[in-house]
Amino acid sequence: MEYNRKVVYNKAHIMQRLQKKSTDVLEKIAVRATKWIGSTNSILVHTAFFIVSFILFFWGISINTILLVVTTLVSLEAIYLSIFIQMSMNRQARRLREVARDVEEIYENVEEIQEDVEEIEKDVDEIQKDVEDIQEDVEGIEKDVDEISDDLEEADTNDQKRDEVMLSRIQETLQILMQEVNELKKEHEKKTPSKKE
């Protein structure tokens, strides 16, 4: 069964490919024919054909036969040309539809890109605001650091002053103690010589 389905599928696929190929070949012929008909060579060939056709009259062929053959050939040519022109127009219309679809897709892509750009712009604005906030925070931190540094310097200055005051008090106390020690020595010396005597 699977084999039969594959065969049917392959036949259908082959038929589609052949039909497309034959359509492509006919369209190419139609395009070439319409291009050639609109060329200078076509005018020259047709003019030569008509001249030769009417020269046949002088060789003994009746004018009715000549006109019948020329009219028939021109009619057949006109029929095929109209078919070829229509095929060319259909092909161009198909291409124009494809181009229109492509243009629509490009337009949709441009709209999506524009939306993305707008979102990116919003994100950039938000990031800019965040950066400004961070910068304000950094400035605040710098001010706090400066204040702390000033406080530390003040504290150091105050500690230094306090230390100087304490040192001067200690020095004063030491001087007083030294004086007292000296006085005690003197008193002791005064007492000591009396014992020696």
Question: Phi then psi for 65, rounded to 5 degrees?
Answer: -65, -45
Q: What is the distance of C-alpha 149 from the center of its chain?
A: 49
Q: Which letter does DSSP use for residue 107 in this model?
A: H
Distance CA 18, CA 23 (A): 8
Provide the percentage of residues in the chain whose pLDDT is more than 70: 85
For position 147, what pLDDT does the model report? 81
The amino acid that residue 143 corresponds to is K
Q: Are 84 and 33 in contact (CB under 8 A)?
A: yes
Ranges 98-102, 113-117, 144-148: which has the least confidence: 144-148
pLDDT, position 53:
86
| Per-residue pLDDT at 137 exceeds 60 | yes
- In the chain the first and final C-alpha atoms are separated, in Å, by 151
Cα(91)–Cα(85) distance, integer angstroms: 10
Per-residue pLDDT band for 10 (boundaries 50, 70, 90) equals low
116: which DSSP letter?
H
Reported as a pLDDT band with limits 50, 70 and 90, residue 56 is confident
Answer yes or no: is pLDDT of 173 > 80.
yes
Integer Cα distance of 95 and 89 in angstroms: 10
Q: Which amino acid is at 134?
A: I
Alpha-carbon span 87 to 31, nearest angstrom: 8
Whole-number pLDDT of residue 193: 56
